[in-house]
Structure 1
Amino acid sequence: MNTTHFITDNFILQSDIAETLYHKYAKDLPIIDYHNHLSAKKIAENQPIKNITEAWLKEDHYKWRGMRANGIEEIYITGQATSHKEKFLKWAETVPNTLRNPLFHWTHLELKRYFDIDELLQPSTAEDIYNRANAILENKTPAQLLEYMKVEVVCTTDDPTDDLVYHMEIANGDFYTQVLPTFRSDELFFIGKDTFLAYIKKLGAVSNLEIKDVDTFLNAIDKRLAFFDAQGCKLSDFGVGEELKLADFTRKEIDAIFSKRLKGNKLNKDEVDKYRSFLFIYLGKKYHEYNWVQQYHLGPVRNNNSRLLNQIGLDAGVDSIGDFPMAQFMSKLFDTLNSTNQLAKTITYNLNPSQNEVFATMMGNFQNSDYPGKMQWGSGWWFLDQKDGMEKQINCLSNMGLLSRFVGMLTDSRSFLSFPRHEYFRRILCNILAEDVKQGLIPNDIEFLGKMVQNICYYNAKNYFGFNLIEN
């Protein structure tokens, strides 16, 4: 493959209008990354990453899947017996074959932005790129990488039992980037799993409570919510990958179900559904009380490949898009909360693209004067955060809602080198609007469109989440 420059200044931008919108209005904006899986521990400890294999391949399921599709042996993907360099060379062998996969764009955007490397990554350039990138990384800490990309806010994904000690260290330190926790509630819902009783003991321990019934369980949750809020938490999240149902229940039933499970007995599906429904509503009201934004990531089928699951463990890169019905669940949950005026700001994300219109129109049912764009249909998530997926999400949101109120992009990433995804989104957004101008579909008012671009890329999120940002 020819190694000439690929990521140019006008990458993706197909007209003078697109270039103006991006370079004048979007390019230099700071980044608010309100959902990711970065390690607060690594940011607080702030030690140089030193090796691009660690930064790029260690936890990147996208790359793992690409390498597997390219026939690379698992030992070079997740194995422990191979060197950093061997793994990188196998990734370089894969990259040319990712052409038209978003991995090709992301890879070269990241090489360009962090390392000023213009050459295409392939076997003939791999060793030189490996050495050049490592020479830069060995002197760059996670906090410096975040500041370099002007990342003002990072919202991590944290279990309710997390002590948030690293978030507190960062808050008390001299960091450009605010690193705030997100209350990820998934484990609270896993009442049917064998691990639930051990988790309840852990929850009780960090809350200084003995959980012996529903009331003490809720008291423990309340303590954790208050603790997270005190550490600057502004968002909750839920991401259980399966079909969901909001069932009718009574408090007497919930007491009996919880007591049964605490005694070590198994629950049937109806009992699990009732318990989860109770918890969805309880937490939803609490999020409203704290003025948090609640997020729902809906639709994956997780851990499909049991052989790799057993070999590697969770997050092995063997999840995919599910075809679960979601409309009735969302409708009943949001309506139940809204009926008592306790529906918090909400963002939903679908993994199945066939449900774009379902999610976009559902959020429109519950908009009100509490806040412009209170109910958000989130950006293309996971398998959909690529050019085609972003374009479809932007177009669908434009048709079914108000694109101008959109809170924009996030990385959903574990990598400190993933922030050019915001640039990718911004270029795509500017190009879409410019194409509409060229076709006479929207006015050729660059100042107006530029302000809209800035809002979507930065200001809407800043205001929507209520982050207390100090001008850097």
Structure 2
Amino acid sequence: MTSNPTGNSSGNPSGTVHLPPTADTIYQHIRDLPIVSPHGHCDPAWFAENSAFRDPAELLIIPDHYVFRMLYSQGVPLQDLGIGVDPDIRDPRRIFQIFAQHWDRFLGTPSRQWLEHTFTHVFQISEPLTAQTADYYYDLIDAQLKTPQFRPRALFERFGLELLATTDAALDTLSHHQKIRASGWQGRIIPTFRPDTVLNPAAPDFAAHIRQLGELTGEDTASFASYLNALRQRRAFFKSEGATATDHAITTIHTCDVPDTEMATLLRQALQGPLSHADATRFYGRMLIEMAQMSVDDGLVMQIHGGSSRSTNAALYQRFGNDMGADIPIAVDWVNGLSALLNRVGNDPALSLILFTLDETTYSRELAPMAGHWPALRLGPPWWFHDSLNGIARYFDTVVETAGYWNLAGFNDDTRALLSIPARHDLWRRGAALHLGGQISRGLFGLSDALDIARLLARDLAVDAYRLKDL
């Protein structure tokens, strides 16, 4: 451990959650299991190039909307955090100083727990972060980032990662994934097929993306039948590069059966100009059913993330683009929204469809009963705003009685912050141990069953749900 330059102390700077004896016994059983990260947003270029991270601000603050959204809410302009600023002219030390000056604003948030875990367990810093220790932190982290032990591949191995899945646009060449494999490195990084920009007519530059899809596949994507063939080709390409899943981000859940003739007309119109909201919704609703049918055919797991109103701060979106921390949960109707899809393929166990929501009110009312019935469905873990100790507790309390454990999809960290991965999985494992300890205390089952379920929740359910059985 490093020496303390200030003599200050803080209650629990390690970012860990203290557990009562039974929960701790369960946690010790799973704490060191390998980490499976089957859905996330880390950059595959990190592992392809294996270059040193540039500086502490670029690694810990600039790409992490969990962090900068809190600072923005406290009046810190995003440009002061280096966002939208040329990396060669921004001041990373100053950015880290601003972050440290506002560190107390993160008390009570999962971001605080994740970062404390990172500082303590990854960088081995024992003293608290303050405005006075900001330079000390910066220098110590910066020095470690320049060492071979902090290159992306070394961190992957140090964190005990068995697998990490990235999320990649449908038109991506996957060249970084190919470079990783060609290097001979044994770390397993796989892509995930994210086709929203070529499925949703409301997506920016939809027509241009459809034309590019045709160029990549040699299909006439102005024809609906050939457009479907082009999508099948891209799915097959992703699968050949190691993908086991697709991913779809949807604000309002809506699937519908639309005749092929109408789809052909809507596609032609979408290539000429924007569709009305109603027509775009119908087109996308049918295409989600097509994606589910293709998943039955090719075995790719289908993920749907629903209930997020994206980029609600128009000024930030216009200046900085997507993912600026202004995405907000909204109410979702899963039962009616997925009715057309599930009544087409939901009875087929060849489909694995994993659902994620930001609308917690649907857990006990809709999602748990649905996952407890439809053979195709699995319920994803608490996502985004609810990936927290309390969110994990609410999740278990509202879904287990109806869905059971085996209809859950285990855990994924869904992060673009590499260093937070072990912290997030550790928090989930502690949360699962707390839940299972409570089940034992209520007499619902004994320790032996709890230990078996704990391993499922920590690793094995994710392996099964994402069809990673060769791990």
Match of 1:345 among 352, 358, 366: 352
Match of 1:3 among 9, 15, 27: 9
State the partner residue of 2:412: 410
| Root-mean-square deviation (Å) | 2.1
Contact 2:13-2:127 at 8 Å conserved across structures: no
Give 1:129 deviation, angstroms.
1.3
State the partner residue of 2:433: 430
Q: Does 1:39 align with 2:43?
A: yes
Separation in 2, partners of 1:200, 1:346: 25
State the partner residue of 1:256: 265
Gap runs ≥5 in structure 2: 1-6
Separation in 1, partners of 2:460, 2:78: 43
Give 1:50 deviation, angstroms.
4.2
- Number of aligned residue pairs: 457
Q: Deviations over 1:230-266 (max 9, x none)?
A: 111100110032x23223421111122222223x144
Q: Deviations over 1:342-374 (max 9, x none)?
A: 76111100111122222222222203xxxxxx5
Q: CA, structure 1 residues 99+8, in 2 after alignment: closer, same or farther (shift >3 Å)?
A: closer
Separation in 2, partners of 1:53, 1:184: 28
Indicate the SS of the match to 1:191.
Answer: coil
State the partner residue of 1:224: 234
Q: CA, structure 1 residues 118+298, in 2 after alignment: closer, same or farther (shift >3 Å)?
A: same
State the partner residue of 1:371: none
Indicate the SS of the match to 1:441.
Answer: coil
Q: CA, structure 1 residues 5+171, in 2 after alignment: closer, same or farther (shift >3 Å)?
A: farther
Contact 1:95-1:122 at 8 Å conserved across structures: yes
Separation in 1, partners of 2:357, 2:325: 18
Separation in 2, partners of 1:8, 1:444: 31
Letter of the 1:118 partner, please give it.
S
Separation in 1, partners of 2:65, 2:242: 29
Letter of the 2:36 partner, please give it.
I
State the partner residue of 1:112: 120
Contact 2:370-2:377 at 8 Å conserved across structures: no
Separation in 1, partners of 2:277, 2:409: 36
Q: CA, structure 1 residues 404+275, in 2 after alignment: closer, same or farther (shift >3 Å)?
A: closer
Gap runs ≥5 in structure 1: 368-373
Q: CA, structure 1 residues 324+463, in 2 after alignment: closer, same or farther (shift >3 Å)?
A: closer
Separation in 2, partners of 1:422, 1:73: 31
Q: Deviations over 1:405-458 (max 9, x none)?
A: 533221111111111100011011112222333x3333442x332222112101
Letter of the 2:360 partner, please give it.
P
Give 1:38 deviation, angstroms.
0.7
State the partner residue of 1:383: 385
Using structure 1 for the length normalisation, give the TM-score: 0.91
State the partner residue of 1:320: 328
Q: CA, structure 1 residues 281+322, in 2 after alignment: closer, same or farther (shift >3 Å)?
A: same
Letter of the 1:350 partner, please give it.
T
Contact 1:300-1:322 at 8 Å conserved across structures: yes
Q: Deviations over 1:261-282 (max 9, x none)?
A: 23x1442334323322321121
What are the within-5 Å matches in structure 2 for residues 182-331 of structure 1? 182-193=192-203, 195-241=205-251, 243-262=252-271, 264-331=272-339
- Between 227-236 and 248-257, report the one with greater CA deviation: 248-257
Q: CA, structure 1 residues 287+46, in 2 after alignment: closer, same or farther (shift >3 Å)?
A: same
Separation in 2, partners of 1:404, 1:346: 14
State the partner residue of 1:100: 108
